[in-house]
Amino acid sequence: MNRLLTVRGAALAVALGAAATVGAALVFEHGLGYVPCKLCLTERVPYYLVVPLGLIAALAPRRPARLVLGLMAVLLLYGAGLGVYHAGAEWGFWPGPSDCGGGSGAGPADVGDFLKSLEHVRPVDCTAAAWRFLGISLAGWNAVIAAALAALAAAAALFAQPSRGPHQPGR
């Protein structure tokens, strides 16, 4: 746990958490066949940005690294907000976006294939949860994970101790 209290350790932990989260989303999409909606795809953007920023922060001197960690926290809070909005739309607390559709990739090659595909393809709806675990949808879990990673990044930006190298005492 001591490593998470350093700027470098926190940066790497947040980058790893972001990579694992977006990796899991890609497994759901490509491995398990869940087609993401527009909001699902938008919720991934902060993670795509946080992974390289975390690696930059881990390699940067302490003061710039803390600034990068602060930026990571802001991006992840934005992602958590998107997750809350999406989960709220799924529960019917508020309307979802009117232009929501899926990211299903390449379409059928010709009209005949298209008509056949309509028999099996369901349009993706941002207001319908495709999967839930412990009663929480993927969007809800995204909000929880993004908020937790944002808290870690913010705490490290504000309070973390300097990383100790092998030549420094106290290691």
Structural domains of the chain, with CATH: 2-96+113-159 (1.20.1550)
Residues of the chain with pLDDT > 90, as a percent, come to: 30
Instruction: Give me the torsion for CA of 60, 143, 145, 125, rounded to 10°.
Output: -110
In tens, the pLDDT along 132-154 reads: 557 667 778 788 899 999 999 99
- Pairwise CA distance, residues 69 & 91, whole Å: 32
pLDDT in tens, 87-113: 888 777 776 676 665 444 445 556 666
Residue 44 has pLDDT above 80, yes or no: yes
Helices marked H in the chain: 7-26, 38-59, 62-91, 111-118, 138-159
Say what the pTM is.
0.72
At 19 the pLDDT is 95
Q: Mean pLDDT across the stretch 50-74?
A: 92
